Amino acid sequence: MSRLQELGQKIDGREAQIGIVGLGYVGLPLAIEFAKEGFRVTGFELDNEKVRLLQESRSYIEDVPAAEIAEVRAKGRFDATTDFGRLSQMDVINVCVPTPLTKTKDPDMSFIARSVEEIRKRLRGGQLVILGSTTYPGTTHELFVPILEESGLKCGTDFAVAFAPERIDPANKKFKVRSVPKVVGGETPLCTELAVKAYQTIFDTVVPVSCSQSAELVKLLENTFRAINIGLANEVALMCHKLGLDVWEVIEAAATKPYGFMKFLPGPGLGGHCIPVDPTYLSWKMKSLNFSARFIELATEINGHMPDHVAERVGDLLNEDRLPVNGSHILILGAAYKPDVSDMRESPALDVIKLLRSKGGNVRYHDPHVPEIDLEGATLKSVDLSDDALSSADIVVIVTDHSCIDYERVVSLSHRVFDTRNATKNVTAGREKICKL
């Protein structure tokens, strides 16, 4: 029996040791799910503070309760370490590290490259290595596998490699980790089989595809689809502003059609790691093949312009009150990229704040999930949403629609409210103060 066949038996018997490289919003939930299913799991992390918190059974990820960490640690099923030498002990290694863009909008492979190099140093026969970080088609086959094979071992014979994209939606209470189907594509049929076997222990549904490149493209297609349709919704919002129409009314009415229409909503811009970034990965890859991804580029242009549109609208609304942006008191509600999370990655709120500050606006923000933000060398702290904070602002701009905020109160105490998220749709009193995107 080969080492890889033995690995399959270890997975079936919950005897395989699971390693998770990167304990962020993807890696930590995955680690806990494996541990809850009876596996011994080790998380590998460069951040000493994260490791310390986990060793104390404390969570820094809102979707992972501290009680769940404490439970699996008490059973001896989960620990975290900065010692990457322990990778040699792992049977299955999941790589869940960031894949941002560089300043020139090129894929930043440095986190993946560093991780795979650490694994190569300790690679042994009978291991399964799964890349889960979102990346361009071909990364697993062209970058990941060749580095691992520098060890002298052969992929598909001595060790296995697969790509399985993350599909986590932070703060989504309806679709949690195990309920979202897991897509898996291996370098060989045996690689796929082993990865499917591993993930079937923690996911309700596993969807195998023919190769790692297909799995990589699946992830990019999902978020490119969203980015392009959000771009359309944003362009419709711009049209409605020109036509003097309520974009939210138009979209909600269109959504009553029971077929052929899927509702996407406009906003102040795109945020998070996935939707603003993933289409650019695909566009970058296609440029290397002399193919122009025109839909992606157009949607990126429209979505990227939305913070400018918001800042321009704020200026116009202040002007209606005979106030310049320069010196006006502007209160931003929400700094996170989406409701009810603390994630600031690519948040359009940062761009809106920068633009208004560059025009001389006296900008403050309130976000119950984000106590402070670093902005161009300055640290801004979230202010209390007091009566005075609302009433003293010349305009309140809703950028992130956190569910814990009382928007009836916001409108009643504010002079004027610019709502980019339709958060005030159910407000009844003071609607004359509200302006929509």
For residue 305, the enclosing domain spans 226-436
Q: Are 195 and 249 within one domain?
A: no
Opening angle at CA 324, ends 323 and 326, nearest 5: 135
- Encode pLDDT of 170-186 as tens digits: 777 788 889 999 999 99
Q: Are 247 and 187 within one domain?
A: no
- Residue 218 lies inside a defined structural domain of this protein: no
Helix (H/G/I), strand (E/B), else coil: 72: helix
Q: Are 285 and 370 within one domain?
A: yes
- Residue 215 lies inside a defined structural domain of this protein: no
Residue 285's CB is within 10 A of a number of other CB atoms, namely 20
Confidence band of 298 (pLDDT split at 50, 70, 90):
very high
- Residue 127 lies inside a defined structural domain of this protein: yes
- Encode pLDDT of 21-75 as tens digits: 999 999 999 999 999 999 999 999 999 999 999 999 999 998 899 999 999 999 9
With a cut of 90, say whether residue 6 has pLDDT above it: yes
| Chain position carrying tokens 């596996």 | 39
pLDDT of residue 71: 97
Segments of 13-172 assigned E as strands: 17-21, 40-44, 78-81, 92-95, 128-131, 160-163
Q: Are 239 and 333 within one domain?
A: yes
- Encode pLDDT of 225-271 as tens digits: 999 999 999 999 999 999 999 999 999 999 999 999 999 999 999 98
- Residue 221 lies inside a defined structural domain of this protein: no
Percentage of the chain modeled with pLDDT above 90: 89
Q: Are 286 and 395 within one domain?
A: yes
Q: Are 253 and 146 within one domain?
A: no
To the nearest 10 degrees (0 to 180), the angle between helices 189-199 and 3-12 is: 20
- Residue 217 lies inside a defined structural domain of this protein: no
Which residues on adjacent β-strands are paired with residue 208?
184
- Encode pLDDT of 104-152 as tens digits: 888 899 999 999 999 999 999 999 999 999 999 999 999 999 999 999 9
Name the phi and psi angles at 388, rounded to 5: -65, -40
Confidence band of 327 (pLDDT split at 50, 70, 90):
very high
Q: What is the pTM of this model?
A: 0.91
What tokens appear for 261 in the block?
Answer: 């229409």
With a cut of 90, say whether residue 165 has pLDDT above it: yes
Write the CATH number for 128. 3.40.50.720
The amino acid present at 183, given as its one-letter code, is V
pLDDT of residue 174: 83
With a cut of 90, say whether residue 380 has pLDDT above it: yes
Q: Are 238 and 292 within one domain?
A: yes
Handedness of CA 421, 422, 427, 432 (dihedral sign): positive
Instruction: Give me the active site residues, please.
Output: 274
Q: Are 193 and 241 within one domain?
A: no
- Residue 235 lies inside a defined structural domain of this protein: yes
Report which of 86, 87, 94, 88 is spatially closest to residue 33, judged by C-alpha positions: 94
Report which of 358, 352, 394, 359 is spatially closest to residue 373, judged by C-alpha positions: 352
Q: Lowest-confidence range among 102-116, 145-159, 322-336, 381-395?
A: 102-116
